[in-house]
Amino acid sequence: GNSVTQMEGPVTLSEEAFLTINCTYTATGYPSLFWYVQYPGEGLQLLLKATKADDKGSNKGFEATYRKETTSFHLEKGSVQVSDSAVYFCALSDWEHTDKLIFGTGTRLQVFP
């Protein structure tokens, strides 16, 4: 079945460091891919998405490119801030089953000044 695998955390970085959080997926067909973020004490928010191969989603300095050949959707940011500290979830939409989201396990990012 469809699944999402993302790197385990926590990822600990200093402010202004480069961030990569790896995400790979297994899916039939052509799912849409998402990154959601959960800030401390808050709900899940959509960070970015890509709906087809080679699409790049971007928001708030974060980027991820839908790579069909490597079945990946890695999240990157060139210079992280303390305010980026949160849990990041990679997800795909399971179009074969009512478009429900299938999530990875989440990666906690901690950024220190």
Partner 1 sequence: GAGVSQSPSNKVTEKGKDVELRCDPISGHTALYWYRQSLGQGLEFLIYFQGNSAPDKSGLPSDRFSAERTGGSVSTLTIQRTQQEDSAVYLCASSLGGALQTDTQYFGPGTRLTVL
Q: How far is the CB of 100 from partner 1 (least distance, A)?
A: 4
Residue 98 or 113: the one with the smaller Cβ distance to partner 1 is: 98
- Burial code (b: 16+ CB inside 10 Å, e: under 16) for 13-49 equals beeeeebebbbbbebeeebbbbbbbbeeeeeeeebbb
Contact with partner 1 (CB under 8 A) among 89, 107, 109, 111: 89
- Here's the x/- map for partner 1, 13-42, by CB under 8 A: it reads as -----------------xxx-x-x-----x
Q: Does 53 bind partner 1 (CB under 8 A)?
A: no
Residue 84 or 94: the one with the smaller Cβ distance to partner 1 is: 94
Which residue matches tokens 């839908």? 66
Residue 65 or 93: the one with the smaller Cβ distance to partner 1 is: 93
**Residue 88 CB partners (closer than 8 Å, separation 6+):** 6, 21, 35, 36, 37, 38, 47, 75, 106, 107, 108, 109
Residue 62: CA atoms inside 13 Å, Cβ hemisphere, count? Answer: 23
Pull the structure tokens for residue 81: 């801030």
Residue 3 or 81: the one with the smaller Cβ distance to partner 1 is: 3
* Positions that interact with partner 1 (CB under 8 A): 30-32, 34, 36, 42-46, 49, 51, 89, 91, 93, 95, 97-106
